[in-house]
Amino acid sequence: MSEQKTLVMKFGGTSVGSANALQYAVQIIRDAKRDWERVVVVTSAMSGVTNLLLDSAASASHGKVDSLSETEATLREKHFSAADALIKDETLREQTKTEIDTLIQSLVDLCKAIAILGEASPRAMDAVASLGERMSVRLLAAVVNDAGIKAQGIETTKFIVTNANHQNAHPDFKTTTEKTRGTLNPLMDAGIVPITTGFIGATPEGAITTLGRGGSDYSAAIIGAVLPADDVWIWTDVDGVMTTDPRIVKEAQTLPEISYNEIAELAYYGAKVLHPKTIRPVLDAGIGLRICNTFNPSHPGTRLIASVKSNGKVNGKVIKAVTAIRKQRLVTIEGRGMLGVPGVAARAFGAVASTGTSVPLITQASSEQSICFAVPSELTPSVLSALEKSFAREIEDEDIDRVWATEDVSIVTVVGAGMRHTHGVAGRVFSQLGKNDVNVLAIAQGSSEVSISLVVDAVDTENAVKALHELIVQ
């Protein structure tokens, strides 16, 4: 018997966000089942649902539950209207609506409990956040079954086993591998399409955890890696990875292929196409990954490849994509007394870490008289406070002159593996920005040499992205 091919497909929130979107998803599953012997489907919550759930929990933690009935009505309308439109079998339709209604009721119960306690623990937030996927999987499984494709909805809490780090849990790959194969293989062997939740797992004791926002991509990668699958396809609402944000540059194009290193830089620096954690399990397992558009399924999308050709260029282009992260601030620690003093950087980043803040960019002058790094704007006050506390003595002794932050800035990143083998790329980048009157506040180039990141004033963001994108289309 020939080796059976396995495909894991993940549908994002907009891909299952309405009756119309669900019809596209059903057709994609039908086509996939024709071409692949074994198919697993991972679904996100319907678009907007997870935010609604988390907002309800946040309000409840402040004792506000008066908008709960409105939230209930919104969730019912969103899920029930799709069920009414697409599930012809009355028994199946009513059963699906009852199951979804039970989950909506558990949201109400959880929010009331949170309101009484006056706080939402990470564990409670995971229980709330999981409900969107748990509703979505019941709806999609019923719609697919009603369309004549044998499918079974199953929650990933049954087989993705994680630690208890709620809101950003890490999978136990050994146990997850055994459980995933034991749960999904028998279904696929029987010709059934398992339809499963993204984003969530469970501790060995059965407490629901989440894998971080955007974790449905990660779920698909985990399932693909442990089965193992031959391919993982991420269905979204764009034609793949774009050369930049099409809302900024209308001429943005889809990249036919991109390397794992390049997509990792793009995902980290603000491109919303793929969750940054998705890449590793797939890369480690040597599995193909493709990003495609639910609403334009005939488009080939973007194929991720292990590494680009020797010079890294695509169609002779050195730079492949430009991305921007907004709402950042540059924090600077400066003072002549820092010169030659060991451990300043370690203490600085220890203080930042104590606030739970991630630093996307660091730059240090060789004179050692200043350290400069970016942090998200909303976390800047707590970071400054932690630094002032950590360096209180040095500030008092005037070894450190000041710790301060800029107004809002953006990190603009140019990405392309070809930069590693091409002289003068940085020169072209900065002369292009100079020509367009964009002032660069700070620069960092990763040791991977796949990207150059630079910091510009918030008002210059669009201008910088447009100017740098011209280097791709020239």
What pLDDT shows up at residue 311? 46
CA–CA distance, 104 with 57 (Å, rounded to integer): 13
**Nearest CA-CA partner of 147 in 103, 109, 224, 92:** 92
In Å, the largest CA–CA distance within the chain is: 77
Residue 314: the pLDDT is 47
Give the relative orientation of helices 122-129 and 90-117 as an angle to the nearest 10 degrees.
Answer: 160
Buried b / exposed e along 303-334 (16+ C-beta atoms within 10 A):
bbeeebeeebbbeebbbbbbbbbeebbbbbbb
For residue 307, the model assigns a pLDDT of 67
**Residue 368 confidence (pLDDT):** 61
414 - beta bridge partners?
Answer: 322, 452
* DSSP letters spanning 155-218: -GGGT-BB-S-TTS--B-HHHHHHHHHHHHHHHHHTT-EEEEESSEEE-TT--EEE--TTHHHH
User: What SS3 state is found at 44?
Assistant: coil
User: Which of these, 178, 92, 172, 168, lies nearest to 125 by C-alpha position?
Assistant: 168
Residue among 28, 36, 144, 44 nearest 86 (CA): 144
Q: Which fold has domain 308-474?
A: VC0802-like (3.30.2130)
User: Which residues fall within 8 angstroms of residue 56, CB to CB, at 6 or more apart?
Assistant: 67, 68, 71, 107, 111, 128
User: How many whole angstroms separate alpha carbon 453 and alpha carbon 173?
Assistant: 33
Token reading at 234:
């991420």
The number of beta carbons lying within 10 Å of the beta carbon of residue 169 is 25
Report domain extents, the chain. 6-237, 308-474
Going by C-beta distance under 8 Å and a sequence separation of 6 or more, which residues neighbour residue 461?
Answer: 324, 326, 410, 412
Place of tokens 């292990």: 306
pLDDT of residue 1: 30
Residues in a beta bridge with 317: 314
pLDDT at position 312: 47
pLDDT digits (tens, 9 = 90+) for 334-367: 988 777 777 888 899 999 999 989 898 898 765 5
Q: How many C-beta atoms lie closer than 10 Å to residue 437's C-beta? A: 9
Return the CATH fold of 6-237: Carbamate kinase (3.40.1160)
CA–CA distance, 376 with 392 (Å, rounded to integer): 23
CB 107, CB 56: distance < 8 Å: yes
Q: What is the pLDDT of residues 168-185, one digit of tens each?
A: 999 999 999 999 999 999
Q: What is the three-class DSSP state of 48?
A: coil
Which residues contact residue 190 at a Cβ distance below 8 angstroms, ignoring those fewer than 6 apart? 150
Report which DSSP code applies to 248: T
Mean pLDDT of successive 10-residue segments in the chain (474 residues)? 79 96 98 96 96 95 92 97 98 98 97 94 96 98 98 98 95 97 97 96 97 87 96 92 89 90 78 76 89 95 75 61 94 84 85 91 75 94 95 90 95 86 84 94 77 94 95 76
pLDDT of amino acid 446: 64
